[in-house]
Amino acid sequence: MKEIILAPSLLSADFNNLQKDIDMINRSQADWFHLDIMDGVFVPNISFGFPIVKHIKKLATKPLDVHLMIIQPERYIEDWKNVGADILTVHYEACTHLHRTVQQIKSFGMKAGVSLNPHTSVDLLQDILPELDMVLIMSVNPGFGGQSFIKNSFKKIEKLRLMADIINPQLIIQVDGGIDKNNYHEVVKMGANALVAGSAVFGADNPEEMIKTLKSF
Ligand code: DX5
Ligand code: ZN
């Protein structure tokens, strides 16, 4: 049995009654809360920011996995720490000085993740990989929940796991976008050990059961 870190994305939760969904995740077998932060510039959508995350932190009993889909994320690293982020992921495409940004994240005691858009090659991570706790492979174009999984992601996961086996065996490989009960098995088989699921969890008749399913390999 392989240990899978499952992080439901609150983007698909019921924002009219967020507490209900947070309680469900607390009760469930999920490992982290995945929080999607969008600025309307890096991605064509705006989600939520500091005040909401601060409130989630008060109710959540599990780590907050914050996925920044924003330009110049280096401007806000300490702010994310202050509102309760435990894992902070920035996009490769949004960081000119990625090495510095990763060090900044780690200096505040958070785990550091780097995310790749579907068109960005895992080869570009060669020199930063030893510094990272996690790589997030986007298997849809970031910005919206409920999109279909891009199949080329399988190859990227496989290649990244081979690279990590040599350079950084502890690396967490997280996959985000279009994950459901039909494809998660293949995603894990290729080398991922962390999954994000939004619509698959919150669109299910029984979200807790779906979480259990997505953790069983
Ligand atoms: C997309 C976000 C995802 C999204 C996943 O930009 O990064 O975390 O919420 O949603 P699903 O699982 O519905 O594709
Ligand atoms: Zn995400």
Pocket test for ligand 1, best of 12, 140, 141 (most atoms within 8 A of CB): 140
pTM of the entire predicted model = 0.98
With a cut of 50, which residues of the chain have pLDDT below it? none
Atom of ligand 1 nearest to the CA of 67: 7
Nearest 5°: CA angle at 13, between 190 and 143?
A: 60
Please report the pLDDT score of residue 7 as a whole number: 99
Q: Other C-beta atoms within 10 Å of 54: how many?
A: 12
Q: Is the CB of 8 under 6 A from ligand 1?
A: no
Q: Other C-beta atoms within 10 Å of 97: how many?
A: 10
Please report the pLDDT score of residue 215 as a whole number: 97
Domain 5-214 fold: TIM Barrel (3.20.20)
178 within 8 A of 149, measured Cβ to Cβ: yes
Active-site residue (options: 36, 65, 86, 133): 36
Q: Is the CB of 13 under 6 A from ligand 1?
A: no
Terminal Cα distance for the chain, rounded? 6
Please report the pLDDT score of residue 67 as a whole number: 99
Give residue limits of the domains in the chain: 5-214
Give the strand order in the sheet containing 194-197.
Answer: 5-8, 194-197, 172-176, 134-138, 111-116, 87-91, 64-69, 33-38
Atom of ligand 1 nearest to the CA of 198: 12
Q: Which candidate, 164, 165, 172, places its Cα nearest to that of 6?
A: 172
111 within 8 A of 148, measured Cβ to Cβ: no
Active site residue 36: yes
